[in-house]
Structure 1
Amino acid sequence: MAYTDMSSSSYKKLHMVHVNRSPLKFPAPSSSCCCKARVLPCLFCLLLCLTALCFLQATNTSHLQELAWVAYPNLAEFIQDNVLQALRDEDEGEHEVHDMCEGRYVYMYDVLAQFNADLAEECIVTGRGRCRESWGCIYCGGLENEGRGLLVPSLTEADNSTILNKNGYYYNYSIQLRPAEAWYRTHQFSLEVLFHAKMKKYACLTTDMARADAFYVPYYAGQDAALSLRCNALEVRDRHVNLFLEWLRGQETWQRTRGHKHFMVLGRQPVDLNRPIKTRMWGLPITSQPELANLTFLWKGKAFSTFIHEIGVPYPTSFHPSSDSHLKVWQETIKGTKREWLVSFLGSARRKFRHESTLQFRQELHKQCEKENDKCRFLDCTLEYKQWQIPCESEPEIVTLEFSNAVFCLQPEGDTPTRKSFFDSIVAGCIPVVFSNETAHLQYDAYLPPDPTLYSIFLNKDDIALGKDNFVQALANISTGRVKSMQENIREHILPRIIYSSPSSSISFPDSFDIALHQLFSSFTS
């Protein structure tokens, strides 16, 4: 296999040029205002209008002024104090710049979208102040540790067994997550925050716009989408987008380049962020904005549109090593694990999907798995522990442990062709079984070998859906030699490339962040 080699000890030791900055703070609209936007004006909406005037006045000054608000809701205060401030505190001091940064300098704009605080509280915290998990929302603690989420609790095997078995859930883990300090409960929609944290410590960050080879725009569009997608009033749903665009138009560099060599990271799928402007469809109008036509988007699944400059990057997993030794420990762990099941399927076969055919196909997978229950293990992802159900979102480390017990892991399409589960299976050393080329083969070409048979199994979706083929028997017929070869490719060559190391790591190998920037610079120079 041939991979692009970007690793060198000197590359990782580069120092960055950065100064202490304060992020732009956008005001947060009220959820009650969203409900009444088309019926009655409310006092809060009037305050928002006054705030918008202040914002426009602030953008006309030579230096971006930090807008002051009377009080911040709990979530906004948490983000400011625990995420952003922690990033800024480590960026002070003089730094030396290495010659290898030539052609890789990045200028980072000073803008962050403020969350819709009222919708965030409704989405994440109940009236009693207790966290509840909901698909699409960042669960409580999901933005801590620079976007990695909460550290996975270091429970003993007996502790885990007690927790999982209390609701009849079958515990059979043969390994533990090691090293413990490298594992976090990372949400699939935290990519924007995680990438921003790593960019803050990027070796070739510069404050000299004339020196920059690329321009990073850290707007958390995916985070805003999670909090406003269900708002029917477009003027409220799109408010942060419009504020962001107004700010961007006023930037000297943006006016000069019109978005060329600019890039933005999007933490959600295309369907959530490419709504046509002024239509009442699902999503936010990000990629459809004329002002952003020249900008390059890095996100977890390509839209495959001729009108969008895009690069597919991996979903964040729960594994964030800080050193080469961390990676080595985990590689050795999954190399020696006893895989009890031939195949595992973690996902829902009950809830509604965007396409009815998706649900029907998953139900057929579930049906075949139950008939072969001595070889196949099916677990339904839900919000709490129940019989044969696990909370895949709030405790993603359970997914890794489950996949570490299987040789093959099914990766059927859901609402989108891509899945976080695909990368979870790679981290667990489990061979992914895909049913569409858009799940991974066409999405992440810089991260995966050009020959998909080196690391994955492709099965015909139509034949399985019609009951013509049995996927369990098809997987059982794969030779032991081929299985071992794929497992080694996954463990030794692919795993290091699809993970996001800790922002303060000292690794020598290129991770997802490094490869994403390499793709970006290559596209700009070509």
Structure 2
Amino acid sequence: MACKNYSFFSSSSSLFFFVILSQSVLSQKISDNDMHQPDCSNRRIHIRRLPPRFNLDLLANCSEYPISGDFCPFLANHGLGRKTHNRSHSWYRTDPMMLELLFHRRMLEYPCLTSDPSSADAIYLPYYAGIDALRYLYGPAVNSSADHGLDLFDFLQTDGPGAWDRRGGHDHFLVMARQAWDFSQSPAADPPVWGTSFLEIPEFFNVTALTLESRAWPWQEQAVPYPTSFHPPNLALFDAWRNRVRRTRRSTLMLFVGGGGTVSSSSAGTPNIRRSIRAECDNLTASATAASGSGGGYGYGPYGTSYSELCRVVDCSNGVCEHDPIRFMRAMLESSFCLQPPGDTPTRRSTFDGILAGCIPVFFEDQSARSQYGWHLPEAEFDKFSVTIPKEEVVFKGLRIVEVLQGIPRARVKKMREKVVEMMGRVMYRRHGSSMGLGEKKDAFDIAIEGVLKRITDRLRQPSLLR
């Protein structure tokens, strides 16, 4: 293993990580007297003290993990990554894998922390599971992936075991910055298949896991929004962006930001939704070019809405957009609908990028969002801010997406966009240390914590757990 090197942290970051490592009473941020405040009733959280091998040491070798490449640049600004440009105050080159670090940093600001685990309503494990999984997914430990998490469990059993034993782990939660499938290999798999077995070993069946994408059946998994690049530090900057989103002219009907579906892609010969989207967009562009050359026009829907472009594609193949919102955010701002087809997995970070741009999401299967992010995108309101078109109708029955979207009345499109703008705050992760009122508004982190506390409370009310 490479020598530990913490030089990539700024001086302020180094101080922060020292606080993380110590996790003393100072890092709990409040005194026991504060716990008697009414607003902390049923909201007390204890941050479990873990050895650095479970978090900080995993970051020290950020350039040494196989396949994943050098993720050291994304550790800057406590997990937000480097700024997109020097004058930026809200935009960063954020990597979704840094959600564990970002979440940990925000936990240290949580107003209802307690240093006493016996008085806590929930216990947070600051374990960077997604980063630790890299050595099992790609490295020399790939054949022992069924062991992922056992070291952590042994520690929880031997260091202050009372915190774990009193509720059998039902009040513990952690963040896993990957899709749940990456932690769902059967421990008995021989030979091993993709993933580790963290979520399949009985030792952690009772722990609530916040993942970027959950499976449909396990009760302990809950999907939370992918981190985007937008992390405003105050209310003024958030409102300024929201106002820009509201006033931007939407000159494109529908937009696809992503890769796949091209002639050169490996799945080009296989019918799939991305290929269908690309083909439809290419045909629309060709028709528009021909109409323009003959003096004709296009883009007028049945309700009088006009667009200078019906379909646009921003090619993000090979990860070129992953850490560069400048490549696609302007296109999202200028589009009415953002197409969100599934790829290797059902969910996409682009869903949340689009919402931040006020671009109405168009989904092609429920697993992409409706059945995933119920805490942040309530299912009861889902059809008020999004459109769902079954992918089978497009791929196998020839349904044209453009006709569906053009058929939506203009008044409804306006209401949907306003609802999307209303949802913006729910899916972004504000910058740590936010001031000027933004901290009073609930962001993705705040909503996730509320959901965790409610789930744990409901779980512990079940009589079978009290025997």
- What is the TM-score when the length of structure 1 is the normalising length? 0.72
**Cα pair 2:258 2:314 within 8 Å, conserved:** yes
**Aligned counterparts of 2:11 and 2:202: Cα–Cα separation in 1:** 34
Identity level (%) = 32
> What letter matches 1:261 in structure 2?
D
Inter-CA distance 401–250: structure 2 relative to 1 (3 Å threshold): farther
Structure 2 residue aligned with 1:267: 177
Alignment partner of 2:442 out of 488, 510, 519: 510
8 Å contact from structure 1 (residues 115, 227) kept in 2: no
Letter in 1 for 2:96: Q
Cα distance in 2 for partners of 1:215, 1:144 equals: 27
Distance 1:426 1:289 in 2: 36
Q: Does 1:190 align with 2:98?
A: yes
For residues 353 and 417 of structure 1, the distance between their equivalents in structure 2, rounded to whole angstroms, comes to 18
Q: Is the Cα–Cα contact under 8 Å of residues 185 and 397 in structure 1 kept in the other structure?
A: no
Offset at 1:355? 8.9
Q: CA deviation at 1:88?
A: 4.5
Partners of 1:106 and 1:205 within 8 A in 2:
yes
- Residues 185 and 194 in structure 2, CA contact (< 8 A), matched pair in contact too: yes
User: Which of 344, 349, 355 is the equivalent residue of 2:255?
Assistant: 344
TM alignment of 1:436-475, pairs within 5 A: 436-449=365-378, 450-466=380-396, 468-475=398-405
Give the counterpart of 1:101 among 14, 37, 40. Answer: 40
Cross-structure match for 1:250: 158
1:359 positional shift: 6.7
Shift of 1:154: 4.7
CA deviation after TM superposition for structure 1 residue 323, in Å: 2.0
1:411, distance to aligned residue in structure 2 (A): 0.3
C-alpha offsets along residues 169-211 of structure 1, whole Å, 9 cap, x if unaligned?
A: xxxxxxxxxxx31111111221111111100111111111121
Q: 1:327 aligns with which of 214, 238, 253?
A: 238
SS in 1 for 2:174: strand
Determine if the alignment matches structure 1 residue 369 to structure 2 residue 273: no
Of 320-329 and 264-273, deviating more is: 320-329
Map 1:280-291 onto structure 2 (within 5 A).
Answer: 280-291=192-203
Structure 2 residues not aligned, in runs of 5+: 21-25, 286-308, 459-467
- The one-letter code matched in structure 2 to 1:379 is V
Counterpart residue type for residue 443 of structure 1: Q
- Contact 2:210 2:223 survives alignment (8 Å): yes
How many residue pairs end up in the alignment?
Answer: 413
CA 1:239–1:294: 2 relative to 1, 3 Å? closer
Q: Give, in whole Å, the separation in 2 of the partners of 1:185 and 1:448.
A: 24
Cα distance in structure 2, aligned partners of 1:216 and 1:118: 24
User: AA paired with 2:223?
Assistant: G
Specify the SS of the correspondent of 1:490: helix
User: Hey, what does 2:456 align to over in structure 1?
Assistant: 524
Range that drifts further, 97-106 or 352-361: 352-361
Alignment match, 2:465:
none
Provide the secondary structure at the position in 2 that maps to 1:349.
coil
Query: 1:34-61: CA deviations, max 9, x gaps?
Result: xxxxxxxxxxxxxxxxxxxxxxxxxxxx
Residue 425 of structure 1 and its aligned partner are, at CA, apart by 0.5
- Aligned equivalents of 2:179, 2:266: Cα separation in 1: 13
Shift of 1:89: 5.2
State whether structure 2 residue 404 is matched by structure 1 residue 496. no
SS at match of 1:298: strand
Query: More helix per residue: 1 or 2?
Result: 2
TM-score (normalizing by structure 2): 0.81
Q: Is the 8 A contact 2:225 2:427 kept in 1?
A: yes
Q: What is the match of residue 294 of structure 2?
A: none
Q: SS at 2:77's partner residue?
A: coil
Give 5+ residue unaligned stretches, structure 1.
1-28, 31-70, 124-133, 156-179, 385-390
